Structure 1
Amino acid sequence: MTSAVNPASSQMSEAEYADQLKRATLASSLGSALEYFDFALYGLCTALIFNTLFFPQDNPAMATVASFATFGVGFIARPFGGLIFGRLGDKIGRKWVLVVTIILMGGSSTAIGFLPTYESVGMAAPIMLVIARLLQGFGAGAEQTGSSVLMAEYAPVKQRGFFAALPYIGIQAGSLMASVAFFLLTLMPEQQLMAWGWRIPFLASFLLILLALFIRMHLRESPTFVELKAADQVSEHPLRELFTSGTPGVVAAFGMRMAENGGSYMLQTLSMSYFVAVVGSTADKGILSWGVALGALIGLFTVPFSGALSDKYGRRAVYRFGSVFLLVFAFPAWWLLSLGNHFIAVAVVALGVGFGVNFMLGPQCAMFPELFGARHRYLGVAMARELSAVVAGGLAGVLGSYIIAVSNANWVLMAVYMTVLAAITTLSTFMVPETAGRDLTRLDDAVKISQHERSSASDPVVVPEAIATPLASVA
């Protein structure tokens, strides 16, 4: 493990750094809240509202599959957004890319609230839904990456796991708001819900956009990027560098996302479709949103806690705990869901999300930025996160809903699916070195460095004389 200090000391005083750290935390958290509010809300609406309003009802089961396909389209767009904005983040800076992505992502989500339905405009309705979802995914493809990179580069080194995890409280807050909003919507009379009620939370997301945009406009650039620019080390071709040296890091992070991202969407979204299929009625369709809400509430504590644990015990050990939890949890969880009991189902979703998923999410916040060198970090994290999201999260919706439709909601097949995802992630944790405390001004990638090199190469690569005196509060 290399020792390092935060480079912020070379740009600002201790008081200024503390203020900017707070701003960065708030700016990142609001962006995460907006992203996951919109995505969780879209996922909840996919199985129970969009399938009815935006698709023909000749075959309701296939309408649900088609609805989940639009959910998956957002994931397909995310790697392209990550590629474009990731390159820009490494070339022009983290801050301005985050300003653009919050506008694009939030604006697209708000637009969904204005869309006409299939009954009004026919096939134009799902087409417009797909376009809005593509734009939403395109912006989201770099939003969460930018937040995690920004916070990792701002955070005190010895507490990077904890501080980098704080914006991910926004993920829990966003998921919590979405599940509560959706549950409240289901209390409305069916006719009003389908006529106009479902539009309210999408339109309300515009308020989060304005607040996040205001804070980000008053945030300074990442200290690490400032160091890169001052040393004339900003990459002109981050994509070329990533393919040259960063591919092992992308592959390893890709594998580690299978259980975290795929398991999250299986529990938060697919479980609802599965439960409706089991009980044979949509009368209690909002019940599992309480499981999602409780899981997010637990995550408000487990995400920063697991991030802090990764500072003490290492990123890999804590991450592996979360993946093994889901590995052991998969078969009992889906069997319990198959019983059709409301209270048991809520507990299953809450435990799986709150502990299994979130114990991976906490250390991931710092670990993924630590895997990549400073010159292509934004792009590396973006590609790792978003390419994996297509397979883990996007495919989970389509393939999972198809399995439910053709297997008469066979719980064993769903359990096998989650077990495979968790096994891939568990094995992937053995592919990476321990990254806790790594100097983020280094230009090399962590995965390709031997243990001997990591132990001996403790000096920062970028202008070491500028960061030789650590900030008192960070050292």
Structure 2
Amino acid sequence: MTMTSQSRRAGVAALVGTALEWYDFLIYGTAAALVLNKLFFPAESPLVSTLAAFATYAVGFLARPLGGLFLGALGDRLGRKAVLVLTLLIMGSATALIGVLPTYDRIGMAAPVLLILLRLLQGFGAGGEYAGAVVLSVEHADQQRRGAAGAWAPVGYATATLLAAGVFQLFLLMPDDQFRAWGWRIPFLLSFVVVAVGYLIRRRIVETPAFEKAQEPRTPQRLDLFAALRQEPKSFLVVIGARFAENGFAYLFPVFGVAFVTTELGVSGNVALGAVVAAAALEMITIPVYARLSDRIGRRPVYLAGAIASVVWVVPFFLLVGTGSTWAVMLAFIVGLGVAYPAMLAPQAAYFAELFGTRTRLSGFAFAREIGSVLAGGLAPFVATALFAWAGHWWPVAAYMALMTAITLAALAVGPETVNRDIETPVSGETPADEEHQGAVPEVRAPVENTNR
């Protein structure tokens, strides 16, 4: 069964929009490992500077649940399209402003403070972006291809990783003094282009049939931030737990991994970023493959296989990069980030959307996902760096990743299989007659005498 033209347009909008917006978010991680630690957090020890930069990196994740909570509820009330345009403006503006910030040498402590504030704004916008793009794609798709439709947004994320690493790799070809003086700013200033292109794409999409169907017989609903948590707590917890391994590995490899091989092992930054670029390019192939596989055999089997493969690869990853060989570093990143990890990311999109009813789908997905982001991805580079500093070896990092994988395996074990679920029908005890609980977002209802006029 082929996708409709509107479904395809929604998928392309999700891919391009997610790629552009997450480029904004990810270039900070790359910059933190390569240059921001020196310009905004100067210290005698390179390791201390890197820890400070990654602490600020984690700050962006603290704002993401707030963004998921508010923007998700707003999307369930006003529509998916409105939220996606809003996240574009928030993230694009914050990223561009980072590109014009004075450094520590010029304004002292005000520099890292301003950087933290803009990072918080980035995180707030990111909290509603990915979930909104996924829900838009999945709700426009037919039931047999929701996994494939949901893959558009993760492919956009892989494209963003490719763009972020590729752009910085290009600018690293500059002389070091010029790169530190002004070259690092250009990738951030490109966000002005991101906003313009993203807006032109997203303004053409329409609301999803599922959202329109849920709105038709009802009066406007009030903004209820915690409806998804109250109405579908099990789904909420499954999403959080499933994020631990996926999001942890998403940032272990391209963020901590790049910092580790460049700062501790002395590998060229171009080699490390080249490995990330190659892995991200492979992700653009493996994500759709795994997503289609999840349409055939289910979301959970593919997700489980990806979690297990990722944790098994941790030890070979460190052994390979420890050799310092270019081919070994490339292989370590390509297998970890390009082959094992995408098996979690690909089915996750449709799976998380299918866990919730239409009226709480975006808020439940976004809020729970971003809480998982704080607990897993946001802290992963900082915790991994701190563990390495404590032990002087990578084995505690491997143990840390094993713990996060165990949490994800437990969450998937208790979570339902959703591949055959009709996402336009009530879930979690909802009934068409019980409108106050359908989709789990309460609203202000009109008096009875007015509704029958």
Q: Above 0.5 in TM-score?
A: yes
CA shift at 1:233, angstroms?
7.6
Alpha-carbon distance between aligned partners in 2 of 1:234 and 1:374, rounded to the nearest angstrom: 15
Paired residues of 2:17 and 2:202 also in contact (CA < 8 A): no
> Per-residue displacement from partner, 1:11-37 (whole Å, max 9, x unpaired)?
xxx9xx833223211221122102321
Q: Does 1:212 align with 2:195?
A: no
What are the Cα deviations for residues 398-427 of structure 1, in whole angstroms up to 9, with x where unaligned? Answer: 11122233332x121121122222222122
Separation of aligned partners in 2, 1:161 and 1:51: 39
Q: Report if the CA contact (8 A) 1:261-1:393 is conserved.
A: yes
* 1:69 to 2:79 alignment: no
2:185 aligned partner = 199
Per-residue deviation at 1:40?
2.4
| Structure 2 counterpart of 1:316, from 278, 300, 303 | 300
Worse-matched range after superposition: 342-351 or 304-313: 342-351
1:335 aligned onto 2:319:
yes
- Aligned mate of 2:281, from 294, 297, 300: 297
Secondary structure of residue in 2 paired with 1:43: helix
Structure 1 distance, partners of 2:285, 2:220, is 37
- Whether the 8 Å CA contact 1:233–1:375 is kept in 2: the answer is no
Alignment of 1:40-59 (within 5 A): 40-59=26-45
Q: What is the match of residue 241 of structure 2?
A: 255
What do the CA deviations read for 1:298-334 (whole angstroms, capped 9, x no partner)? 1111111111001100011111110010121122222
Q: CA deviation at 1:341?
A: 2.5
Aligned to 1:181: 167
2:137 maps to which residue?
151
Match of 1:285 among 269, 281, 296: 269
Q: CA deviation at 1:234?
A: 6.6
Residue 396 of structure 2 corresponds to 413
Do 2:63 and 2:121's aligned partners in 1 also have CA atoms closer than 8 Å? yes
- In the alignment, is the contact (CA less than 8 A) between 1:338 and 1:411 conserved in 2? no
Cα pair 1:235 1:376 within 8 Å, conserved: no
After TM superposition, the structure 1 = structure 2 runs for residues 16-415 of structure 1, keeping only pairs within 5 Å, are 18-232=4-218, 235-236=221-222, 238-279=224-265, 281=266, 284-408=268-392, 410-415=393-398
Partner of 1:429: 412
Deviations 1:203-232 (A, max 9, x none): 112212211111211211121110011021
Change in CA separation of 1:200 and 1:240 when aligned onto 2, cut-off 3 Å: closer
Paired AA for residue 189 in structure 1: P
CA pair 233-287 structure 1, distance change in 2 beyond 3 A:
farther
- Unaligned 5+ runs, structure 1: 6-13, 450-460, 463-475
Show the counterpart of 1:472: none
* Counterpart-to-counterpart distance in 1, 2:226 and 2:382: 33
Secondary structure of 2:269's counterpart equals coil
Matched position secondary structure for 1:430: helix
Is the 1:90–1:379 Cα contact (8 Å) retained in structure 2?
Answer: yes
Structure 2: unaligned runs, 5 residues or longer: 431-437, 440-453
Deviates more, 1:424-433 or 1:148-157: 424-433
Q: Distance in 2 between matches of 1:40 and 1:127?
A: 20
Where do 1:461-472 residues align within 5 Å? none
Describe the shift of the 1:252–1:233 C-alpha distance in structure 2 as closer, same or farther (beyond 3 A): farther
**What is the alpha-carbon distance in structure 1 between the residues aligned to residue 398 and residue 171 of structure 2?**
30
The TM-score, its normalising length taken from structure 1, stands at 0.87
The amino acid of 2:378's aligned partner reads G
How much is the aligned-residue C-alpha RMSD, in angstroms?
Answer: 2.0
SS in 2 for 1:96: helix
Distance of 1:421 and 1:59 partners within structure 2: 29
Q: Is the contact made by 1:90 and 1:238 (CA closer than 8 Å) also made in structure 2?
A: no
The Cα shift of 1:108 comes to: 0.8
Alignment match, 2:425: 442
1:469 is matched with none
Q: Tell me if the contact between 1:267 and 1:349 (Cα under 8 Å) persists in the aligned partners.
A: yes
Q: Count residues with an aligned counterpart.
A: 433
Share of identical aligned residues, percent?
A: 38
Q: Distance in 1 between matches of 2:347 and 2:368?
A: 15
Give per-residue Cα distances to partners, 1:31-71, cap 9 Å, x unaligned.
Answer: 21023212222111112200000123244322211110110
Judge conservation of contact 2:133–2:153 (CA < 8 Å) in 1: yes
1:182 CA drift (Å): 1.3
Question: How many Å separate the matches in 2 of 1:346 and 1:134?
Answer: 33
Q: Which moved more, 1:101-110 or 1:436-445?
A: 436-445
Contact 1:331 1:416 in 2 (8 A): no
Normalization by structure 2: what TM-score?
A: 0.91
